[in-house]
Amino acid sequence: MARTKNALKSKIAPINIPEIISTLTNNYGPFPEEPRLDPAHELTFTILSQHTSDINSERAFQGLMNTFGDLMSVAQAEVSEIEQAISRGGLAKIKAPRIKAILNRILELNGSLDLSFLSEMPLQEAKTWLRQLPGIGPKSAGIILNFSLGMPAMAIDTHIYRVCQRLGLIGKKVTADKAHELMEEAVDPEQVFTFHIAFITHGRQICKAQRPLCEECLLAKHCPSKDQFTVLTSLEGSDTLVAKSKGKKPTSKSKKVSKRVSVKELPHSVPTGDRT
């Protein structure tokens, strides 16, 4: 039985990480690599982007900057005022005290909100410094160091984690925290930013959580998970045919996946001028 199953599996063509990055960049890119915010602003934006869409986090950030003008004023503001300023972004009751606490902790530790000194530190020390702040985990630290200071820190979000697992770059049991370490070792430091944007875009557009569009995927012939999803899709297709032959409407689960036009959109990107 096991032999039959293996025989049904399609062959997987080997591919390495630089080739994957190149394939995805050719399709979705190019991705402009330039620092967009100073680290304290990036940190604040990162908190606002937790568990919300890009558009809502951008609205919340704009609300915060329009209300207070600078982060020192945010640090000194009442939590209720911050909450009101970021209300359009969602989860304001959780994020407002978090932002105030983090900014004030930075002031205690550093005497100012200027975090540019992090770029002078070895990468691991810079990460450790940021991770002592309340609510800053490996992903947020990676985003701040990579996006703001151009350091080769890996930030693994849910999309990147999923794509890495499906492509077999990390094992199924590897935690998200451990994935940061493994992928930071595996990816050329020069390519960390491009890797991040390319994988997150692929995860959002093609390798989606519930219904990956393997038929449209440029990496399909290299992907050990493709068969698993192809079987699911064909089973759903059979459901549709059976339902039609019985004169029933196919269930939403049985409907064929819709083709998606490639949208060139940089995740986590707001022009600098809009975020200062």
CA pair distance 69, 80, nearest whole angstrom: 17
Among residues 85, 149, 164, 220, the one that binds ligand SF4 under rule CB under 6 A: 220
At its nearest, how many Å lie between ligand SF4 and the CB of residue 203?
8
Q: Is 135 exposed, middle or buried (0-12, 13-18, 19+ CB in 10 A)?
A: middle
Q: Examine residue 159 and tell whether it contacts ligand SF4 (CB under 6 A).
A: no
Q: Examine residue 226 and tell whether it contacts ligand SF4 (CB under 6 A).
A: yes
CA pair distance 34, 225, nearest whole angstrom: 34
CA 136-127-93 angle, 5° bins: 10
At its nearest, how many Å lie between ligand SF4 and the CB of residue 211?
9
CA pair distance 176, 227, nearest whole angstrom: 24
Closest CB to ligand SF4 among residues 66, 258:
258
At its nearest, how many Å lie between ligand SF4 and the CB of residue 59?
31
154: left (phi over 0), alpha (psi -120 to 50) or beta: beta
Dihedral angle computed from the Cα positions of residues 185, 155, 15 and 208, in that order, rounded to the nearest 10 degrees: 150
Q: Examine residue 95 and tell whether it contacts ligand SF4 (CB under 6 A).
A: no
CA pair distance 199, 21, nearest whole angstrom: 8
Q: Examine residue 106 and tell whether it contacts ligand SF4 (CB under 6 A).
A: no
Q: What is the CB-side half-sphere exposure of residue 207 using CA atoms within 13 A?
A: 25
Q: Examine residue 229 and tell whether it contacts ligand SF4 (CB under 6 A).
A: yes
H-helix segments, 111-191 = 123-131, 138-143, 149, 158-166, 176-186
Active site residue 100: no
Among residues 96, 225, 268, 270, the one that binds ligand SF4 under rule CB under 6 A: 225
Among residues 145, 151, 164, 223, the one that binds ligand SF4 under rule CB under 6 A: 223
At its nearest, how many Å lie between ligand SF4 and the CB of residue 197?
16
Q: Examine residue 99 and tell whether it contacts ligand SF4 (CB under 6 A).
A: no
Cis previous bond, 30, omega within 30:
yes
Q: Report in angstroms the alpha-carbon separations of 5 from 8, 216, 269.
A: 5, 24, 44
At its nearest, how many Å lie between ligand SF4 and the CB of residue 236?
15
At its nearest, how many Å lie between ligand SF4 and the CB of residue 260?
12
Q: 93, 139, 172, 253: which one is catalytic? A: 139
Q: Examine residue 212 and tell whether it contacts ligand SF4 (CB under 6 A).
A: yes
- Tell me, residue by residue from 6 to 45, as one string, x for binding to ligand SF4 by CB under 6 A and - for no binding: ----------------------------------------
Segment near ligand SF4 (CB under 6 A), from 100-108, 131-139, 170-178, 209-217? 209-217
Which residues sit at the interface with ligand SF4, rule CB under 6 A? 163, 166-167, 206-207, 212-214, 217, 219-220, 223, 225-226, 229
